[in-house]
Amino acid sequence: MLPETLKGKLLGLNDDMETRSALAVIETARAEIPGLAMVSSFGAESVVLLHLMAQVDRSIPVLFIDTEMLFPETVDYQQTLAETLGLTDIRRILPDAAEIAAQDPSGELHRTDPDACCDLRKTRTLERALADFDGWITGRKRHQTANRATLPIFEEEEGAPRIKVNPLANWERGAAGRYILKHNLPRHPLVAQGFASIGCAPCTSKVAEGEDPRAGRWRGFEKQECGIHIVNGRFVPMRAQGGTK
């Protein structure tokens, strides 16, 4: 469990971290948090954070939640990045088989209740995977959704004795793409097909030119978060946060 003194120290670094690089944030997290992991979806922009992490420590555990509904291209991309970046501890984690059999035996829950499906296949799975860690690195950015507009660099996790580290929180729209080009990093193969934000296959669609990159996630539902990043311990519709569908 992360000591309260260390938690307070990290939260107190937020003002200073605003002017530091994402690499410096990861270096600080690696030095200060004894049990640190990274959570990666191996989605459209995931290579940025993984490339930064690899410059600090390639052995940091990377938790890859396989919901069993991912695009095959995502699973292949995970293997490509592991080899390209030399990552040594990627942990592919599956949902609990008994829970799936009991609550979504037909694999159709996403059609009627996507929040429940995300909770079953992703949120609970991640909670179990993070149980032994003191902190975890995420790729969230303030520009992505209304919920993330005031995202701090170091964040106390709601309802858990852990710190969330958001090295890319203050990156502007387009910065990740420029970073990928600058470092000649491999892109997720679905990006070239019009998928700007990539999650589970049934709940991800292409976006049209001019659309918000996350418009293709849960299209037709009032939902923009999978549930691993929640507000006050629960799902909050974007409209309630002053955002849009």
Q: How far apart are CA 197 and CA 203, in angstroms?
A: 11
Q: Which of 118, 200, 203, 226 is catalytic?
A: 226
Structure tokens at 122: 């992703």
Per the CB < 8 A criterion, the answer to whether 134 and 9 are in contact is: no
Q: How far apart are CA 194 and CA 205, in angstroms?
A: 8
Q: Between 46-56 and 22-32, two packed helices, what is the crossing angle to 10 degrees?
A: 60
Q: What angle do CA 47, 50, 52 make, to 5 degrees?
A: 110
Per the CB < 8 A criterion, the answer to whether 167 and 151 are in contact is: no
Q: How far apart are CA 187 and CA 194, in angstroms?
A: 12
Chain-centre distance for alpha carbon 57 = 19
Segment holding 65, helix H or strand E:
strand 62-65
Is 226 labeled as catalytic in the residue annotation? yes
Residues 6+ apart with CB under 8 A from 95: 67, 68, 120, 121, 122, 124, 125
- Tell me which residues are annotated as active site: 226
